[in-house]
Amino acid sequence: MVKQLVRDEEKQRPLLDEHEEKHFTAGEVVRDIIIGVSDGLTVPFALAAGLSGANAPSALVLTAGLAEVAAGAISMGLGGYLAAKSEADHYHRELQREQEEIDTVPDTEAAEIADILSQYGLGPQEYGPVVTSLRNNPKAWLEFMMKFELGLEKPEPRRALTSAATIAVAYVVGGLVPLLPYMFVATADRAMATSVGVTLAALLFFGYVKGRFTGSRPFLSAVQTTVIGALASAAAFGMAKAVQSI
């Protein structure tokens, strides 16, 4: 049976390889760009629309908008950096802890392997040999515990930095789209009309791209992203009008 299986495995190696392809998901950089751009399109757009609703002059809408873009890019970028960083720290703390446990309480850790595998209906006959083999290979044992007990993947070392930079730049790019009209049209409410048109088009486009890369239905994603932008700016618009009328 085992021999048969090994032959199967060799026979199906090509099958396995093409199989990998099928589980393709977006590159993390692409995803960061999409996150940054679509957030950048939403909040500065909404803020600008809100202020225009309060009859603020274009110059001031632009001041507020660009200030928001600067603040948003930094807080998203640094926030993303720290998030990725603390995830990596968490991984390394857990790695060290697992290593210590394997060294100090190997029987407990061995029992955990059995515990994990028995959740899949495996009995001592099946998991016994696995446990023994892992106990004889501490490096593999550690990796096994990290992945299967804690579900933690080894983080890419430079991920945090590139992610932060990508999101921040993408946020600025996205944020400039709704603000451009205010640079060229002096009266805010006329600038707003252009801004709304341009931004809704951009939201539809990026929602579509987002859907394509995240594996959800592109048209649905386009509509969802645009609706979020529209609702956010409607809320900002209403809020600005309300505050102004106090």
Tell which positions 49-108 bind its own copies, by CB under 8 A.
50-51, 54, 56, 59-60, 62-64, 66-75, 78-79, 82, 86, 89-90, 93-94, 97, 101, 105, 107-108
If phi > 0 it is left, if psi is from -120 to 50 it is alpha, else beta; for residue 70 that is alpha
Count of residues in contact with its own copies, rule CB under 8 A? 103
DSSP character string of 209-236 = HHHHHHTS-HHHHHHHHHHHHHHHHHHH
**Closest-CA residue to 38 (of 168, 215, 206, 233):** 206
Instruction: Report how far residue 210's alpha carbon sits from residue 74's, in angstroms, rounded to the nearest whole number.
Output: 22
Restricting to residues 135-194, which ones interact with its own copies according to CB under 8 A?
A: 137, 140-141, 143-144, 147-148, 150-151, 153
Shortest Cβ 158–its own copies spacing (Å):
19
Nearer to its own copies, 170 or 232 (CB): 232
Closest approach, Cβ 202 to its own copies, in A, equals: 14
Establish if 123 lies at the interface with its own copies (CB under 8 A): yes
Binding test (CB under 8 A) with its own copies, winner from 186, 193, 201, 235: 235
Distance of CA 72 to CAs 33, 51, 169, 202, Å? Answer: 14, 17, 11, 19
User: Hey, what amino acid is at 26?
Assistant: A
Please list every residue from 209 through 228 that binds its own copies, using CB under 8 A: 214-216, 221, 224, 227-228
Q: Smallest gap, in angstroms, from Cβ of residue 35 to its own copies?
A: 9
**What distance in Å separates the CA atoms of residue 100 and residue 246, rounded to the nearest whole number?**
63
Could you say whether residue 39 binds its own copies (CB under 8 A)? Answer: yes
Distance CA 214, CA 30 (A): 10
